[in-house]
A and B are shown apart, each in its own frame.
Chain A
Amino acid sequence: MSEQMHPDFSRREFLSQSAKLAAGVSLASGVMLYGVAEAKPSAEAVTSKVRWGMLIDTNKCSSGCDACVKGCNEWNGLKDHGRPQTDAQWIRKVDLRNKGTGSVHSLPMMCQHCEKPPCADVCPTGASFKRADGIVLVDKHICIGCRYCIMACPYKARSFIHEDVTDQRPHAPRGKGTVEACTMCVTRVDEGQRPACVEACNTDGHKAIIFGDLNDPNSEIAQTVKTYATTAIRADLGLNPGVRYRGI
Chain B
Amino acid sequence: MELFSLSISELRSMIDKGEVSASEVTASVFRRINAVEGRIKAYVTLTGDKAGEMAEKAGGEIAAGRKKPLSGIPMAIKDNMCTKGILTTCASKILSNFIPPYESTVTTKLAANGYVLTGKTNLDEFAMGSSTENSGLHETSNPWDIERIPGGSSGGSAAAVAADECIAALGSDTGGSIRQPAALCGVVGLKPTYGRVSRYGLVAFASSLDQIGPITKNVSDSALLLNIISGRDRFDSTSAPVEAPDFTSFIGKDIKGLKIGIPKEYFIEGMDPEVDKSVKNAVRKLESLGAIPVEVSLPHTGYAVATYYVLATSEASSNLARYDGVKYGFRAEAGELMEMYMKTRAQGFGAEVKRRIMLGTFTLSSGYYDAYYRKAQQVRTLIKKDFDDVFGLVDLVVTPTTPTPAFKFGEKTADPMQMYLADIFTISVNLAGVPAISIPCGFTSGNLPVGLQMIGKHFDEGTILKAAYAYEQSTEWHMRKPDL
Does B associate with A?
Answer: no
Tell me the B residues contacting A by CB distance below 8 Å: none
Tell me the A residues contacting B by CB distance below 8 Å: none
